[in-house]
Amino acid sequence: MSSTSPTPIAQPGLQQRHLAALAEGRFLIQHCGACGKHVYYPRVLCPHCGADEPALVAPRGTGTVYAVTTVRRKPEAGGDYNVSVIELDEGVRLMSRVAGVPPGDVRIGQRVRARVVDALVVFDLIAAEVRA
């Protein structure tokens, strides 16, 4: 049996550009020039107005925890972790996790900042939100 790591599937065009940016440590979302709305996960057509392939742009990278849950695991399986839905300031939501804090300390309404780790978008609490 070979490696248990997932192998990226080659995807043409837009998805390939999005995955390549993540592999380079860059987080991109789309902005539709026709209707002015942001889109994430990248799509060929704007889901709001149907315009062709909205442009890939760098978001501000800040947002708010919209929802959160704790996934329980045995310590030998890596321990508990949080799964969070983050609403970016641009208005799009994505599922991720808040890193660097115990899962039970992540709360709805906390401000977070995105970063890319191993081609995945994760979030850190913004300093003013970190509690001692």
Q: What is the pLDDT of residue 12?
A: 62
Q: Contact 64/110 with Cβ under 8 angstroms?
A: yes
Sign of torsion over alpha carbons 92, 48, 14, 5: positive
Domains and CATH numbers, the chain: 11-58 (no CATH), 60-132 (2.40.50.840)
Q: What is the pLDDT of residue 24?
A: 95
CA distance 8 to 35: 32
pTM assigned to the model? 0.83
Q: What is the pLDDT of residue 128?
A: 63
CA distance 103 to 81: 5
Q: What is the pLDDT of residue 14?
A: 87
